[in-house]
Amino acid sequence: MIFPPWNEEHAALRKTVREFALTRLAPHREEWDKARRWPAREVFKEMAELGLLGIRFPERYGGLGLDWWYTAAYVEELCQARNGGVIMSTLVQTDMATPVVAELGTHEQCEEFLEPVISGDYIAALGITEPGCGSDVAGIRTTAVKDGSDFVINGAKTFITNANIADFIVLAVRTGDEGHFGISLVLFPTRTKGFTVGRKLDKLGTHSIDSSEIHFDSCRIPQRYLLGQENAAFIH
């Protein structure tokens, strides 16, 4: 077996991503950094038309259903954009926030959240880091308490990429005891009442994207937005 097992199809995708990154993204790297923003929604629609927002995701939701080596080629060539912020925002959309939805989501959840990501109509964010705990995921304090058929969410996150533009957040919340095994994942629509985006944080680099604080004040979402098993987020 040749390793990596590159073939002509991998090369074709690599060429598509390289040309897109060099012609559509790289020429604007300084402009977008100076503006402290980039046209993510517009660019994601263009990427969706090229099939780049669902490389490994199931075809039934609009993905390509391809293997990890296609993703390796995609990520490698995306770096031709020469803009760390744009690359990070894009990888949150394609490979950080959404794979867990594809792997754990019910058919209804995938139709509601994953399908519009693949089509470029939704932007996703990942909500894990908090003001009091960064890499210490077991210390998460944002809570989701059951009330009838809903979860009521209170707390805060920080350094959240895509916070200002996201349609939903794959959100880590505490639903059980302290420590690793009391954390769940939920799909959180950002239109939910009580959700606010706080200050945009200044950084040494990646200026084109927002890294922001977000806050949850008695936000209600239906329990059907639980992603995977309750209290199993650390394992997921």
Determine the pLDDT at residue 34.
Answer: 94
Determine the pLDDT at residue 26.
Answer: 97
| Tens of each residue's pLDDT in the chain, 236 residues | 567 778 899 999 999 999 999 999 999 999 999 999 999 999 999 999 999 999 999 999 999 999 999 999 999 999 999 999 999 999 999 999 999 999 999 999 999 999 999 999 999 999 999 998 877 889 999 999 999 999 999 999 999 999 999 999 999 999 999 999 999 999 999 999 999 999 888 888 889 998 999 999 999 999 999 999 999 999 99
Determine the pLDDT at residue 1.
Answer: 58
Determine the pLDDT at residue 58.
Answer: 97
- Other CB atoms within 10 Å distance of the CB of residue 15: 12
What pTM value is reported for the model? 0.95
Determine the pLDDT at residue 210.
Answer: 87
DSSP for the chain? --SS---HHHHHHHHHHHHHIIIIIGGGHHHHHHHT---HHHHHHHHHHTTTT-SSS-GGGT-----HHHHHHHHHHHGGG--HHHHHHHHIIIIISSHHHHHH--HHHIIIIIHHHHTTS--EEEE--BTTBSS-GGG---EEEEETTEEEEEEEEEEEETTTT-SEEEEEEE-SSSSGGGEEEEEEETTSTTEEEEEEPP-SS-TTS-EEEEEEEEEEEEGGGEESSTT-TTT-
Determine the pLDDT at residue 155.
Answer: 98
Residue 206 has φ and ψ, to the nearest 5°, of: 45, 45
Would you say 155 and 143 are in contact if contact means Cβ atoms under 8 Å apart? yes
Single out the residue of 113, 94, 100, 99 nearest to residue 232, CA to CA. 100
Determine the pLDDT at residue 203.
Answer: 86
